[in-house]
Amino acid sequence: MPIRSSGTTKGRGEGESNKLLIIGENINSSSKKILQALQEQDAAFLLNLAKEQVAAGANMIDINAAKRLEHEKGDLEWLVKVIQAEMEVPICLDCTEAEALEAGLKVHKGKAMINSVCKDRVRLETILPLAAQYKASVVALAMSEENIPSTVEERLQISLELIKTIREYGVPDTDIYIDPLVFPVAVDTDNAQKTLTLIREIKGTFPQVRTIIGLSNISYGLPKRDLINAVFLSIARYAGLDAALLNPFEKKVLTLLKATELLLGNDEYCRNYLVSYRKRELA
């Protein structure tokens, strides 16, 4: 029997729209273990890692093979086949090369996610037609090809322009995920507030457009990173966050998220929280 995630390969329906989409980040070729597994085509190791992430709470699995650039096309196609051969879980294709993306999209079962585009004409013109053709959701970074804006106002303007462009390719708002960009608070303690402000602005202006973050960036360079990640995720969720790329093995993060969903009214009769408690899943 294929393993089912708590998400769906058909995309996010009405019953799921109020739940945070958790994307497991651990199959990334920047990790030496993952890179070695790709080089050796170790399907068992990578499939087991995908299964463990779903068991820990991931609704979607991110795959990145960029460190093997010359093999990225074949690696993405192979990874999608390996994971979905035994699991009914959607995959986030973390890739900016159109040819490699299409190889993965062609074999993907259900609704995929493309991660990512930015305000870059070439990338938009090559990737957005694929998103429309394969009905994939798209992560759009609030940045241009030239620079990463430092102010909320600049990021918001770029986000608005990206939403307009993505719409023109026929991608619906519910398949657009704006990444406001998360930078370490160790560098600037205002970085968290900038991200939260942009999430609120996007959701206030475009209620159907999704927001997404790469969670671990916020705590880079600080001790007890899982604590910072957990608290920031809860605050961001309250601000309107829809999805997060994170490490599902950080038990403290997922525990605090369950409590947050309960308090936000997204856990009817406290059912999910109580089930997790009985299963001893809470940190």
pLDDT at 18: 81
Residue 233 near residue 256 (C-beta atoms within 8 A): yes
Question: How much is the CA Rg of the chain, to the nearest whole Å?
Answer: 18
Instruction: State yes or no: cis peptide before 234, omega within 30 of 0.
Output: no
Closest CA to 249 of 273, 277, 230, 236: 230
Q: What is the pTM of this model?
A: 0.93
pLDDT under 50: residue ranges of the chain: 1-15
Which residue has tokens 């408690």? 277
Q: What is the reported pLDDT for 17?
A: 56
pLDDT of residue 145: 86
Closest CA to 7 of 114, 95, 92: 92
> Distances from the Cα of 233 to the Cαs of 82, 112, 117, 213, 253, in angstroms?
31, 23, 23, 9, 8
Q: What is the pLDDT of residues 105-115, one digit of tens each?
A: 999 999 999 99
